[in-house]
Structure 1
Amino acid sequence: MVEINLNDAEFFAFHGFYPEEQLLGSRFLVDISVGFRPTGNLLADEIGNTVNYEQLYNIACEEMKHTRKLIETVGQSIIDAIKSKFPFVDHVRVCIKKVSPPLKGKVGHSSVTITSFVD
């Protein structure tokens, strides 16, 4: 089993339940973890035998552009796109952190983590 991780990919996006959040935007950090059994020999040193983390970043970047009320929705969209691009994955975990969420007190970030296992 191989696991590819992309950590703290930073985006400025307009997700949020309240209209002000969708107007002002926020910083988000995205972590992606993808587990899979290699389809080829890793010693062949070929990108096609693994999950390309540049493509993971591009998927997250594209999905973060679509304003949503819930970061859960964004997370699931990222997972669905990864599973479509890399059908050989066994599991995908996405964590989206909203930096300094608009609450009454100081909070570093709120987050949602979704894990999807492929049968």
Structure 2
Amino acid sequence: MSKIFLEDVKIYAYHGVLPEENIIGTYYILNAELHTDLWKAAETDDLNDTISYADINAIIHQEMEIKSKLLEHVAGRIITRIHENFPQISYIKLKITKTSPPMQGEMKGASIELERSFKPDEH
């Protein structure tokens, strides 16, 4: 199994249940793991034989721009859109961390992680 990772993608966005979260915003850190076959690209050195992580990054940024109450909803949209664009991906794991959640105490962040496996013919 081959994997593509995007690690610690930092994006400023406006998600949350509280109204001020949709106005003030905060930084989010995203980590994605994608499973697909990369062996053809390993042999050909051709971008057409792989999945461009720049394209995955663009999808993540576009979906993060859409305000949502729940990070689960954002993660679900990102995973669905990645799979719609790249049906050869068999598994996607996405972790989203809100760096400044509106809660008591000091913390690095609050995170959710969503993962999904796809059958090869599932589009």
Query: Corresponding residue for 1:90?
Result: 90
Looking at secondary structure, tell me which structure has more strand per residue. 1
Aligned partner of 1:16 in structure 2 is: 16
Structure 2 gaps, min length 5 = none
TM score, norm. by length of structure 1? 0.95
Contact 2:36 2:89 in 1 (8 A): yes
Percent identical pairs in the alignment equals 28
Cα 1:60/1:24, change in 2 over 3 Å:
same
Q: Residue 30 of structure 1 aligns with which residue? A: 30
Matches within 5 A, 1:18-97: 18-38=18-38, 40-97=40-97
In 2, distance between residues paired with 1:49 and 1:32?
20
Shift of 1:40: 3.1
Query: How big is the shift at 1:68?
Result: 0.1
CA RMSD in angstroms comes to 1.2
Alpha-carbon separation, structure 2, partners of 1:19 and 1:84: 31
The aligned amino acid for 1:35 is H
- Equivalents in 2 of 1:90, 1:26: separation in Å? 32
Q: Unaligned regions of 5+ residues in structure 1, if any?
A: none
Code of the residue aligned with 2:17 in structure 1: it is F
* Mapped partners of 1:6, 1:56: distance in 2: 8
Matched residues, number:
119
* Residue 101 of structure 1, CA deviation: 1.1
TM-score, normalised to structure 2, is 0.92
> What is the Cα deviation at residue 47 of structure 1?
1.2
Structure 2: distance between partners of 1:80 and 1:41: 24
Could you tell me how far 1:41 is from its partner in structure 2?
A: 4.9
Q: Which residue of 2 aligns with 1:115?
A: 115
